[in-house]
Structure 1
Amino acid sequence: MSDDLVLAIDQGTSSTKCLLVDPAGGVVRTGSAPVPIRYPRPGWVEQDAGEILGSVLTAAASCLDGVAPGRVVAVGLSTQRESAVVWDRTTGQPAGPVLGWQDQRAQPICDALREKGQASRVREISGLPLDPMFSAAKLRWLLDETPDAAVGTIDSWLVYALTGSHRIEAGNASRTQLLDVRAGAWSPELLDLFGIPSAALPTVTPSAGELGRIGAHGGVLAGLPITAVLGDSHAALYAHGERAAHGVKVTYGTGSSVMRLGEPSNDAVCMTVAWNDELAAEGNIRSSGSTVAWLADLLDRSPEQIGAMAAGAASEGVHLVPGFGGLAAPWWDDTAVGLISGLTLGTKPAQLARAAVESIAHQVADVVDAMGPAEALLADGGASGNDVLMQIQADLTGRPVLRARTANLSALGAAFLAGGFTPSISYDEFRPQPGDAAAQRSAWRAAVARARTPHLGS
């Protein structure tokens, strides 16, 4: 029916956004709620599962306020990935902190497996490098603290809390490092390596279908069916529609996800499940938007001010390598450190601002280079609204950047899949301009090499 609407819930790292979407892809109403993040120790990143659920209910209530009952026919869910959740099997209440995707406390678990020579086997089965960013080691850490609990990722926690079903969507499951990515099922060998009992894990389900009906405790959502669940990066790729078959999707957020359909050609990037049984190659960048936020805090400016400073300056040989917790794709080097190089007595905050913005584009270019040929970059996410960044990205990669004119592509992708709508997105195009991209890329790679060998100095 033309009057039918789908509610998309996009549960992200710092907030939950809700969009009410019609069959043409139009956004009828929106709602949002913040989600606190805590950093109790260096390398520890925590959230609260109850607060995350509360943000979903608050954002949904705001979005649906005044909407006639019966107009909303389905819910689509897009979530942050790799974050690990633990809850009590009996009460259903959170039994520990949510370990965020950036959390590094499980590094010793990964190190122990690497010392036993298991890194290649983990990669072979899961499609992912042995790294604490993924959920498996974090889930082991939580179970060490709370034995006999139920565990899952953000999508499985929300589906459980709203419907009572302990399920996990295939794409999110592929980010746990416990899934046999080609078989689409939990790997007994990986469960044994990480010490995860199968009884603690949710059941792997497809990305679309009857995934549960929300109970009375769901407030304004009560009675609605969840018909699609996707990881946020996967949902954004889905929203790009037919263009996704020929381009590389780049989501510019706190970190960045660079993803394309099809299996990867090398180990510089990961193999993951895009949705259902569709495989994709992905490179993850730990710090992109968070780099600008860090510099803004350091300089007592806003991220918007950092962007404005960058637009009017040149980096003048300054490079900022944001190895705050090591470097992810394509390096996968957890020993890398954060580094600023090329400083002179003439360096000003504007040069640092420009270097911070350029670091985002350089890291994306590193992953795109590792992925191989691509017709264009399909850009979305908050930082993609920065015209300067988009032009730098086109220049460094030598490829056109097509920026989605519609915001919130993760939410829209979940809505399109949940409602069976055909994605239709329009774009702004940034074409590569002549310049010294080769020299800039060479200087960046030299800075990365220094960050990866900090004992050599700068």
Structure 2
Amino acid sequence: MTILAIDQGTTSSRAILFDADLRVREVAQREFTQHFPDSGWVEHDPEELWQSVLETCEAVLEKAGPAAAIGITNQRETVVIWDRQTGEALHRAIVWQDRRTADFCADLRAEGHEAEVTARSGLLLDPYFSATKVKWLLDNVPGARAKAEAGTLAVGTMDSFLIWRLTEGRVHATDATNAARTMLYNIDDGRWDPELCRLFGIPMQILPEVRDCNAEFGECRLFGTAIPILGVAGDQQAATMGQACFQPGMLKSTYGTGCFALLNTGETRVASQNRLLTTVAYQLDGKVTYALEGSIFIAGAVVQWLRDGLGVIGAASETQALAEAADDHQRVIIVPAFTGLGAPYWRPEARGAVFGLTRNSGPAEFARAALESVGFQTRDLAEAMRGDWKASGSAATLGTLRVDGGMSASDFAMQSLADILGAPVDRPDVLETTALGVAWLAGHAEGMLPDAEGFAKRWSLERRFEPQLDEHSRDQRYDAWRRAVEATIAAG
């Protein structure tokens, strides 16, 4: 028996079949088009995205036969709005990277609404989150608001859209981790917040039902047999479970298009004093576990920029050899604020910058600076998390960082990360931790897999990266990074 994990990401959709020992049996992947209709705008075609999911699922199931259960993990904050009767989307999905509502967020902040938003949702007023994207769709798609008020529209993050399509319109639902990223969900009460919905002008009847991560989300009958959907979680929370970070104080960081670090804070909702996010790590059997999260908008995407924007590499795999060949006497710094700066700065108006160029700076120095920028941004998050964790009164300390995602395969990037953090970095045997997390959710709900404690015992280390840089050099480099960020913000 197998478990089908649907991993719907920012640049591609993947279907991964896991067996009862959580070994990968089959994988299929399809990229889809990124649309940039205006400066700072990022959109996806929901139909193209849906086809990518269908095609990948069909590809793996054709090879291995029917699955016992489905788990779904997805790019968070990206939203789509669709007609309940036809199932057709009214507009392209607005992607989490999109910045079109930055001015509206600034207006709400100036009016003094951010404290209330944070108190209820744990989030900050930023276009990153779903609420202002939904408002934009209702205000700008012809007829959308009237249809929403009449109850004939549905809105949701990509998990909701996929659940709707997979169940052929029978289920409109989401899980608590995705709901917690919308800026419309009260993470204390565990429900859509009427005051937040009123603030953003969003009719509550268009929102999905919120369920546990390990709840039942209906049956999919599209692949020849009825397969239950038994696990759903946003990509970073799914990776947290896939990394078996079930104990307070455990920390993971995923390096994909962006970088997302989550610190498990257990039953305690920790209010950040350093502009981190307080969010839901997971919700199992009605019990909420909270997390502190720091979000970096550009991680792996900086390597894509080297390839597609500058043309200095032909493939991402070339960066390691180039970085190792870089001139040690040059300290080029790239601040990759291409879509603004995320945590702990939250400066949507900032734009990317490069510092320390000389006549000898070339592709090798750019490659090293690109990989090091991820480590510097991660240290920004780690410093903020340490401060918040200590201020909460917790006796637990932050130690080893568990890493996953595409960039974690780079030995240079991970060694650089350990050097900049001054802490060990652990890379697991299974790097597909996002898909693994929802495969475990669905497999446990179906009865194939053990509980969280048993699953944690299966986690295994592939390699540990120990810091090799002395403290003085580490702090000297980090100080240079902080000065570069300050200059970038000032220029924005």
- Range into which the TM-score falls when normalised by the shorter chain: over 0.9
For residue 272 of structure 1, the aligned residue among 258, 270, 279 is 279
The equivalent residue for 1:44 is 41
The equivalent residue for 1:171 is 177
Structure 1 residues 183-332: aligned runs within 5 Å: 183-215=189-221, 218-220=222-224, 222-241=225-244, 245-262=248-265, 263-264=269-270, 265-276=272-283, 277-300=288-311, 301-302=313-314, 303-314=316-327, 316-332=330-346
For residue 159 of structure 1, the aligned residue among 163, 170, 191 is 163
The equivalent residue for 2:491 is 454
Structure 1 residues 7-406: aligned runs within 5 Å: 7-69=4-66, 72-144=67-139, 145=141, 146-147=144-145, 148=148, 149-163=153-167, 164=169, 165-215=171-221, 218-220=222-224, 222-241=225-244, 245-262=248-265, 263-264=269-270, 265-276=272-283, 277-300=288-311, 301-302=313-314, 303-314=316-327, 316-372=330-386, 373-406=397-430
- Whether the aligned pair in 2 keeps the contact of 1:358 and 1:389 (CA below 8 Å) is yes
The Cα shift of 1:242 comes to 5.1
- Whether the aligned pair in 2 keeps the contact of 1:75 and 1:224 (CA below 8 Å) is yes
CA distance 1:223–1:381, shift in 2 (3 Å): same
The Cα shift of 1:405 comes to 2.1
CA distance 1:119–1:304, shift in 2 (3 Å): same
Aligned residues: 447
The Cα shift of 1:175 comes to 0.4
CA distance 1:234–1:92, shift in 2 (3 Å): same
Same amino acid, percent of matched pairs: 39
- Whether the aligned pair in 1 keeps the contact of 2:245 and 2:252 (CA below 8 Å) is no
Q: For 1:56-112, what per-residue CA distance to the aligned partner results, in whole angstroms no more than 9, with x for missing partners?
A: 11101111113344xx21101111100010101221111111001101112222122
Q: Helix, strand or coil: the match of 1:225?
A: strand
The Cα shift of 1:244 comes to 5.5
The runs of 5 or more residues in structure 1 that have no matched partner are none
The equivalent residue for 1:413 is 437
The equivalent residue for 1:444 is 481
The Cα shift of 1:266 comes to 2.5
- Whether the aligned pair in 1 keeps the contact of 2:164 and 2:172 (CA below 8 Å) is yes
The Cα shift of 1:314 comes to 4.3
CA distance 1:296–1:306, shift in 2 (3 Å): farther
For residue 433 of structure 1, the aligned residue among 464, 468, 471 is 468
Distance 1:258 1:75 in 2: 26
CA distance 1:367–1:207, shift in 2 (3 Å): same
Q: For 1:380-434, what per-residue CA distance to the aligned partner results, in whole angstroms no more than 9, with x for missing partners?
A: 0000000011011111111100012212110111001111122523221000113
Distance 1:127 1:52 in 2: 30
Q: Helix, strand or coil: the match of 1:65?
A: helix
- Whether the aligned pair in 2 keeps the contact of 1:314 and 1:354 (CA below 8 Å) is no
Q: Helix, strand or coil: the match of 2:63?
A: coil
Q: Helix, strand or coil: the match of 2:459?
A: coil
- Whether the aligned pair in 2 keeps the contact of 1:179 and 1:187 (CA below 8 Å) is yes
Say which is worse superposed, 138-147 or 308-317, in terms of deviation: 308-317
The Cα shift of 1:124 comes to 1.3
Residue type of the alignment partner of 2:138? L
Residue type of the alignment partner of 1:259? L
- Whether the aligned pair in 2 keeps the contact of 1:237 and 1:244 (CA below 8 Å) is no
Distance 2:469 2:236 in 1: 31
Residue type of the alignment partner of 1:415? A
TM-score scaled to structure 1, two decimals?
0.94
Distance 1:244 1:430 in 2: 22
- Whether the aligned pair in 2 keeps the contact of 1:57 and 1:219 (CA below 8 Å) is no
The Cα shift of 1:260 comes to 1.2
TM-score scaled to structure 2, two decimals?
0.88
Q: Helix, strand or coil: the match of 1:66?
A: helix
Distance 2:6 2:289 in 1: 22
- Whether the aligned pair in 1 keeps the contact of 2:245 and 2:264 (CA below 8 Å) is no
Residue type of the alignment partner of 2:459? I
Residue type of the alignment partner of 1:231? G
Say which is worse superposed, 110-119 or 321-330, in terms of deviation: 110-119
Distance 2:320 2:40 in 1: 26
